[in-house]
């Protein structure tokens, strides 16, 4: 995996605690082990991406294992990812990358997210006492900080995907896996906020008709879950529903002991042509 300089697009070479390109653009490797490759002029806000509270709640919720059946489906679809190079696009706090690395310990895993707070948490995730991610950078999915044809596979779980950029960094024949919500995802949570639940449409970030990708298929997986205690509010906080939930409804959700809801995911697979 070779990082790319965001200023001049040349390869970055690591020297001690920095990455440097042939034009002498230099980027520090943070003590946690990630590199910030998001240039100030490419930021739309001071702290882009999901905020630290959302990240912490997502980490606490996902660590409880409610989405384990999604992890199982993902690792099964990856088939044998050992000795492969994988990219986790919009890795957030690193839950899925960490799980993938646990199943495929010889995989070379890279992750990017536009939120520095998320990347910092992902950098702390360990697998067999070593960092779960081989390479982690603060960067945008629309300007991936890697040289062309670096990866055997890219995964995006509920995160943005830019088809041309993703095609650029995948090897020909490489796989792209996109996970998004299926029809009934979090219906129980939504019903405790809105009068009416609007089902999700299938085809989250579909790449239908994109010339660089062939659709291999998609799988929908669904389970009913009973979310308990503090996990209910963490779930609310990690989703976009949070922003449209009144303080009154938030307080009511906080008091609930259990919440029953379907969890439903659509996993779409594409081949880089």
CB count in 10 Å sphere of residue 2? 12
Q: How far is the CB of 15 from Zn ion (least distance, A)?
A: 14
Residues that bind Zn ion (CB under 5 A): 5, 7-8, 10, 21, 23, 25
Residue with tokens 């919720």, as numbered in its chain: 61
Binding piece for ligand SAM, criterion CB under 6 A, among 12-20, 87-95, 198-206, 218-226: 87-95
50 binds, among Zn ion, ligand SAM, none (CB under 5 to 8 A by kind): ligand SAM
Identify the residue among 160, 164, 203, 211 touching ligand SAM (CB under 6 A).
160
Name the token pair of 54. Answer: 């959302």
Q: C-beta of 95: minimal distance to ligand SAM in Å? A: 5
Residue 145 near ligand SAM by CB under 6 A: no
Smaller CB distance to ligand SAM: residue 90 or 174?
90
CB atoms within 10 A of CB 221: 16
Residues found in the chain = 273
For Zn ion, which is the closer residue by CB, 2 or 76?
2
152 lies in the binding site for ligand SAM (CB under 6 A): no
Count of positions on this chain that bind ligand SAM (CB under 6 A): 19
Cα separation of 253 and 235, whole Å? 10
Single out the residue of 118, 180, 181, 188 in contact with ligand SAM (rule: CB under 6 A): 118
Least Cα distance to 2 among 178, 144, 183 occurs for 144
Contact 141, 124 (CB under 8 A): no
**Segment 43 to 72, residues that bind ligand SAM, using CB under 6 A:** 49-50, 58
Cα 244 off chain centre by: 23
Nearer to ligand SAM, 32 or 214 (CB): 32
In the complex, the smallest distance separating the C-beta of residue 24 from ligand SAM, rounded to whole angstroms, is 27
Tell me how far, at minimum, the Cβ of 182 lies from ligand SAM, in Å. 15
Contact call for residue 111 and ligand SAM (CB under 6 A)? no
Helix 247-255 vs helix 230-238: crossing angle, to nearest 10: 140
From CA 149, how far away is CA 174, in angstroms rounded? 9
Among 70, 78, 87, 91, binds ligand SAM (CB under 6 A): 91
Window contacting ligand SAM (CB under 6 A); options: 134-142, 186-194, 245-253, 260-268 = 134-142
Alpha-carbon Rg for the chain, nearest whole angstrom, is 19
171 binds, among ligand SAM, Zn ion, none (CB under 5 to 8 A by kind): none
Structure tokens at 134: 């081989």
Could you tell me which stretch among 16-24, 91-99, 127-135, 246-254 binds ligand SAM (CB under 6 A)?
A: 91-99
Contacts of 216 (CB under 8 A, 6+ apart): 175, 269, 270, 271
Tokens in use for 244?
Answer: 């449209």
Cα–Cα dist 98/70, whole Å: 14
């Amino acid at each position: 995996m070779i990082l790319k300089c965001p200023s001049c697009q040349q390869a970055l070479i690591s020297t001690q605690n920095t990455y440097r390109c042939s034009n002498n653009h230099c980027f520090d490797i943070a003590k946690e082990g990630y590199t910030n490759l998001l240039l100030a002029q490419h930021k739309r806000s001071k702290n882009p991406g999901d905020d630290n509270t959302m990240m912490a709640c997502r980490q606490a919720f996902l660590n409880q294992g409610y989405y384990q059946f999604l992890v199982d489906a993902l690792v099964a679809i990856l088939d044998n990812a050992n000795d492969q190079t994988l990219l986790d696009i919009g890795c957030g706090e690193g839950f899925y990358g960490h799980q993938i690395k646990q199943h495929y310990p010889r995989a070379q895993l890279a992750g990017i997210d536009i939120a520095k707070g998320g990347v910092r948490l992902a950098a702390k995730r360990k697998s067999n006492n070593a960092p779960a991610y081989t390479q982690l950078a603060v960067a945008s999915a629309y300007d991936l900080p890697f040289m062309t044809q670096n990866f055997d596979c890219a995964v995006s779980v509920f995160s943005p995907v830019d088809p041309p950029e993703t095609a650029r960094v995948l090897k020909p024949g490489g796989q792209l896996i996109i996970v998004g919500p299926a029809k009934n995802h979090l219906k129980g949570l939504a019903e405790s906020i809105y009068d009416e639940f609007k089902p999700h449409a299938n085809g989250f970030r579909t790449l239908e008709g994109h010339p660089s990708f062939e659709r291999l298929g998609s799988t929908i997986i669904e389970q009913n879950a009973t979310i308990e205690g503090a996990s209910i509010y963490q779930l609310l906080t990690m989703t976009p529903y949070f922003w449209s939930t009144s303080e009154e409804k938030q307080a009511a959700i906080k008091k609930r002991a259990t919440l029953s809801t379907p969890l439903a995911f659509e996993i779409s697979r594409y081949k880089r042509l």
